[in-house]
Structure 1
Amino acid sequence: MVDVLVVGGSGLLGRALVRRAARSGARVAATYHRHAPSRDGRPLDIRRRDDVVATLRRIRPAAVVNAAFDQGDWATTADGAAHVAIAAVDVGARLVHVSSDAVFSGRSGRYTERDRPCPGTPYGAAKAAAETAVAAIDPDAAVARTSLIIGGGESAHETFAHALVAGTASGVLFTDDVRCPVHVDDLADALLELAGSAHPGTYHVAGPEAVSRHELGTLITGRALPAGLRVDSGLPGARDVRLDCAWTRARLGTRPRGVREFLSR
């Protein structure tokens, strides 16, 4: 029997989940859609409900962490989450669904675990729909909202910041776009802790420090980077979303580090 199944195991977070679970001695398996992870990867298109159910029936995991998403595809992000929840209930597995601060519009700035989603983008709407579906299908599931995921130089933000320094990319980093970055390993540990518990509900798993994308890029590279304002860019998306994690911190032993701690040189 598998202790933990990571759905979406080929992404930055999925790989960290597989790595951290295996390091703890858990029996772990992972699914992927396009790119196979290095450890026990099994192809799965979560848009196909019957395939998801059949896969979980074969694996029989004790817990499932769903880290799969596609920012441009509602069927993967929203419908796929529902299919994973249906399959988890079918086999009696503990479900931890990974959500995002994109479910918030940013108009309020700071959001607690009890705040209702108010998305301002199609991706945020898909993530909010996924949360609703998971809670309706599996009331015992945990939904974990997170923020910008950083770690190992492999995240999109780290890659872009280094490309700006190298001159292989053009653009700016926004000084008015604020988030609470979290290290991928800290996030993975918190999600695995939730997977090993029986506590349902919505959790906020993000770093304790709020920084702008420009400040974050500067911390990553140690270099001066071109700055701009999201409000002037015309790009969709919230500008200031700070996840208040106080309720979650009172319930989890895992303590995500602040960005200045894990990016210190």
Structure 2
Amino acid sequence: MRVLVVGGSGFLGREVCRLAVRGGWVVVGTCHSGEVGVPGVEVRRLDVTERAAVVDLVAAVRPDAVVATPYRYGDWAVTADGAAHVAYAAARVGARLVHISSDALHAGRPEAYADDDPPTPIFPYGAAKAAAETAVRAVDPGAVLVRTSLILGEGSKQIQLCRDALAGRATLFTDELRCPVDVGDLAAAVLELVDSDVAGPLNVAGPDAVSRAELGLLVARREGIDPAGLKTTTGAAAGVVRPTEVRLDSTRAVGLLRTRLRGVSELLAAGR
């Protein structure tokens, strides 16, 4: 299996590269300005906003599969246009496409979202992710769109944000609920989906819905930090327009995949 990981220098992309190499796959990882840093990965520089460059690279690599992980918060050209360029290029060479999407494309509600619930974005990043899905599905109906949530693991932005809040350098919202997933679990699930015929949206997230503030408390407990200094507020009080309660129902993914999607309480258990 020859796989191209677009966005191989990102947190998830790097883990996908690492697991694919360990599985004996031939791996090509792209980066724009960072580094992939995974032994055994052939690295190519790529700007996904340049359509011709994406087409040329995919044609040169001739992958069996493409895992598309690139995004840049607040950058429509990368998140939406880039996804369209990658989908177009992958379809031209007949490569299997696994596109990484996000729960950010939902508006938020008390009930959990099913795999096929349509996007209802309420802020620019969510709109960009929704547009990316629309483009991918139009270009390649056989692609799988992995809708996921906050990605955890050592080195993740989410864990660092919790540490910063515990140190008084940041603030966590009590009214934003998500279903965090471990980066290793998600990467393993992505590689399973590469070797499958699953198509369309698929929720792949953890089973536990927690607020960002609750996540901060779990990090404090794991690392032996006094949570008294944890700074919290609500999105409404901070004037932030973002989804509040976004729960992803990953029941279908759990039935399809061998990979076990662990809950945040297990991932951040005391003493881990």
Same fold (TM over 0.5): yes
1:138 equivalent to 2:143? Answer no
* CA distances 1:206-255 after superposition (whole Å, capped 9, x unpaired): 00000110110111122412221112111120011000111222222222
Q: Amino acid of the residue matched to residue 251 of structure 1?
A: L
Match of 1:198 in 2: 197
Following the alignment from structure 1 to structure 2, what is the Cα–Cα distance between the partners of residues 36 and 12? 11
Following the alignment from structure 2 to structure 1, what is the Cα–Cα distance between the partners of residues 29 and 9? 8
1:262 equivalent to 2:267? Answer yes
How far has the Cα of 1:108 moved from its partner?
Answer: 4.9
**Runs (5+) with no aligned partner, structure 1:** none
* CA distances 1:165-211 after superposition (whole Å, capped 9, x unpaired): 345x2x32111110000000000001111011122111001000001
SS in 2 for 1:242: coil
Match of 2:157 in 1: 156
Moved over 4 A (4+): none
Q: Give % identity.
A: 50
Match of 1:9 in 2: 8
Match of 2:149 in 1: 147
Pairs within 5 Å for 1:191-230: 191-222=190-221, 223-224=226-227, 225-230=230-235
The alignment's C-alpha RMSD in Å is 1.2
* CA distances 1:40-85 after superposition (whole Å, capped 9, x unpaired): 2211011111110110111111110000001111111111111100
Match of 1:38 in 2: 37
Match of 2:177 in 1: 178
Following the alignment from structure 2 to structure 1, what is the Cα–Cα distance between the partners of residues 117 and 20? 30
| Paired residues of 2:166 and 2:216 also in contact (CA < 8 A) | no
Q: Amino acid of the residue matched to residue 107 of structure 1?
A: R
Stretch deviating more after TM superposition (193-202 or 130-139): 193-202
| Paired residues of 1:174 and 1:229 also in contact (CA < 8 A) | yes
SS in 2 for 1:99: strand
Following the alignment from structure 1 to structure 2, what is the Cα–Cα distance between the partners of residues 31 and 216? 31
| Paired residues of 2:6 and 2:31 also in contact (CA < 8 A) | yes
| Paired residues of 2:179 and 2:205 also in contact (CA < 8 A) | yes
Following the alignment from structure 1 to structure 2, what is the Cα–Cα distance between the partners of residues 108 and 126? 23
| Paired residues of 1:36 and 1:42 also in contact (CA < 8 A) | no
Match of 1:243 in 2: 248
TM-score normalised per structure 2: 0.93
SS in 2 for 1:111: coil
| Paired residues of 2:2 and 2:26 also in contact (CA < 8 A) | yes
Number of residue pairs aligned between Structure 1 and Structure 2: 261
Following the alignment from structure 2 to structure 1, what is the Cα–Cα distance between the partners of residues 99 and 68? 5
SS in 1 for 2:240: coil
SS in 1 for 2:256: coil
| Paired residues of 2:68 and 2:86 also in contact (CA < 8 A) | yes
* CA distances 1:144-177 after superposition (whole Å, capped 9, x unpaired): 000000001x11121122223345x2x3211111
